Amino acid sequence: MDDRLVLEIDDLEVDVLTGIYSEETHLPQPLRMSIRVLLKHADHYEPDAPLSMSKNYMDLKHAATTALTRGQHFTLIEAVADHIIDTLFLQDEKALHVTVKIVKLALSERHEKIGITLGRWRK
């Protein structure tokens, strides 16, 4: 089995302007996101290993919050996921694959999770 290093953030709630229907386009919608980044990794991490050998966890949060342009409307949540993926690939050459799961909370009637998962490899 191959070794791997995956940084992740789960259940981050962010309000984003998204949707195609008129009732969706004028107010931000609550989205719940989970992000996973597969990274190039070291053979071993010593106790004093510098952060540069990995990735700052807060970069994942930044990609899903402050890196989303305020006031930008995304017709599809797939476009939100792609924006996050692009941001993470631009931030760090060690990012090999990024997966973003987005659940549209406003669509839930009985706590079901309706949304998408998009994963992309670095090209």
pLDDT at 118: 99
Do residues 88 and 31 lie in contact, with contact meaning Cβ atoms separated by under 8 Å? no
Q: Which residue in the block uniquely carries the two structure tokens 């953030």?
A: 9
- Tell me the percentage of the chain whose pLDDT exceeds 70: 96
What 8-state DSSP symbol labels residue 18? B
Residue 13 phi, psi dihedral angles, 5° rounding = -100, 125
Do residues 9 and 60 lie in contact, with contact meaning Cβ atoms separated by under 8 Å? yes
- Provide the token pair at 26: 């004028």
5-44+51-121: CATH, from 3.30.1130.10, 3.40.220.10, 3.40.190.10, 3.40.50.970: 3.30.1130.10
Strands (E), 1-123: 5-16, 29-39, 95-104, 115-121
Residue 110 pLDDT greater than 90, yes or no:
no
- Provide the token pair at 2: 């191959």
Look up the pTM and report it: 0.91
Q: Tell me what the mean pLDDT of segment 88-111 comes to.
A: 92
The mean of the pLDDT values for the chain is 92
pLDDT at 27: 84
Q: What's the order of all strands across the beta sheet hosting 5-16?
A: 5-16, 29-39, 95-104, 115-121
Q: Which residue in the block uniquely carries the two structure tokens 């259940």?
A: 11
pLDDT tens, residue by residue, 13-46? 999 999 887 666 678 899 999 999 999 999 999 9
